[in-house]
Amino acid sequence: MSADVFVIGGGPAGLAAAIAARQRGFDVLLADGAIPPIDKACGEGVMPDSVAAARALGLDLAQAGHAFRGIEFVGPGTAVHADFPQGNGLGVRRTALHRIMLERAESLGVRFAWGTQMTSLDGIRARWIVGADGSQSRVRRWAGLDACVRDSRRYGFRRHFRVAPWSEYMQIHWGGDCQMYVTPVGPEEVCAVLISRDPHLRLEDAMPQFPELRARLCKAVSVTPERGGVTASRRLKAVYRGNVALVGDASGSVDAITGEGLCLLFRHAVALADALEAGDLASYAAEHRRIGRRPEFMADLMLMMDGRERLRSRMLRAMAARPSLFAGMLAMHVGELSAFDFFRNGLAFGWQLLNS
């Protein structure tokens, strides 16, 4: 239990933090209660900004990913899509992502203690301790970092289907009080995720709200069992205390519908490694706040459509009437639009909304 940097949690955040710290020459030991390959409920959509952030860690996700060119919103009788302004997104099976990240970490010389469930911070001899133990982080509690500025939860359930992707876009289908999103993850496979505020609602129960999707998926074989998870919109008051810093979902998160969870944690990892090198975790806290601002804002914007039927159908109609407005929002979502242009786009959208 002795290292320069001791990482608790070997999901994407822990592996990313370990890689970034190792890239700067720290001796890194990572402990996780599970044993690879580690799977998790995830929409498996990697946005172009996440692909770029992964590249900074030396990760080539394209080798295991299925490309998609943009996002499509689908509502009853309305649909609108837009291409990403640059590059493409990737559908990457969670187990493949874990394998690629693990291989990269191993090649850099990160040391691992798999099957090691940590029960406290006692006994760890490390200059820095990194809590990367996910949304229900215990490191967060042990370090006294549980206090939140905001905290709301939804529930996600995921299943893979053997069927050729029917769209070149990652689709978000808007139902009454839930959404289903579909990511192409292979030439013959899609990942379907249901997200709602109801922990008891399952894919099967929600299908009647998505007749178009049901028509496609009812003929396809489900190749994985349903796997669930909590998706939190959470911002903490602080992301470090003493020599303990949090990364990834442990440090706060945005709703899964944004598809930005992975991007955030890749960026946290780089920012944290910079701060460790400088011996200054306050700089990590500042950078963490800056990294989260745009995804949080976009999550709030998207969730305005959740459960508000009239507003949602007006917004979808407005976007379908002027797809360039949707393209502007997507560009902002992936960090390719300036705040000024986004504001201008927002005004045009407001006008279109009033007239639709």
Ligand X SMILES: Cc1cc2nc3c(=O)[nH]c(=O)nc-3n(C[C@H](O)[C@H](O)[C@H](O)COP(=O)(O)OP(=O)(O)OC[C@H]3O[C@@H](n4cnc5c(N)ncnc54)[C@H](O)[C@@H]3O)c2cc1C
- Give the nearer residue to ligand X in terms of CB position, either 259 or 328: 259
Give the integer Cα–Cα distance in Å for 106 and 120.
26
State the DSSP code for 204.
H
Q: Contact between 43 and ligand X (CB under 6 A)?
A: yes
DSSP string computed for 67-117? EE-EEEEEETTEEEEEE-SSS-EEE--HHHHHHHHHHHHHHHT-EEEET--
Q: Which residue shows structure tokens 């039927």?
A: 309
CB of 315 to ligand X, least distance (A): 22
- x/- site string to ligand X, residues 192 to 231, per CB under 6 A? -x-----------------------------------x-x
Q: Contact between 97 and ligand X (CB under 6 A)?
A: no
Q: Are 44 and 94 in contact (CB under 8 A)?
A: yes
When binding is defined by CB under 6 A, the residue of 3, 5, 11, 179 that contacts ligand X is: 11
29-37, 279-287, 307-315, 338-346 -> range binding ligand X (CB under 6 A): 29-37
Q: Residue 354 corresponds to which tokens in the numbers above?
A: 């009033």
Q: Which contacts qualify for 205-210: CB closer than 8 Å, 24 or more apart?
A: 206/175, 206/178, 206/180, 209/175, 209/176, 209/178, 210/173, 210/175, 210/180
99-107, 204-212, 261-269, 339-347 -> range binding ligand X (CB under 6 A): 261-269
- Give the nearer residue to ligand X in terms of CB position, either 54 or 325: 54
CB of 317 to ligand X, least distance (A): 26
Q: Contact between 184 and ligand X (CB under 6 A)?
A: no
- Give the nearer residue to ligand X in terms of CB position, either 231 or 345: 231
CB of 333 to ligand X, least distance (A): 12
When binding is defined by CB under 6 A, the residue of 32, 49, 72, 306 that contacts ligand X is: 32
Q: Is 112 left (phi over 0), alpha (psi -120 to 50) or beta?
A: beta
Q: Restricting to residues 305-334, which ones interact with ligand X according to CB under 6 A?
A: none
Q: Are 35 and 115 in contact (CB under 8 A)?
A: yes
Q: Restricting to residues 115-144, which ones interact with ligand X according to CB under 6 A?
A: 117-118, 132-134, 138
Give the integer Cα–Cα distance in Å for 101 and 61.
9
- Give the nearer residue to ligand X in terms of CB position, either 44 or 287: 44
DSSP string computed for 263-309? HHHHHHHHHHHHHHHHT-HHHHHHHHHHHHHHHHHHHHHHHTTTT-H
Q: Contact between 248 and ligand X (CB under 6 A)?
A: yes
Give the integer Cα–Cα distance in Å for 349 and 122.
54
When binding is defined by CB under 6 A, the residue of 24, 27, 34, 188 that contacts ligand X is: 34
- Give the nearer residue to ligand X in terms of CB position, either 229 or 328: 229
Q: Which residue shows structure tokens 């893979």?
A: 160
Binding site for ligand X (CB under 6 A): 8-14, 31-34, 38, 40-45, 50, 117-118, 132-134, 138, 156, 158, 193, 229, 231, 248-250, 253, 256, 259-262, 265
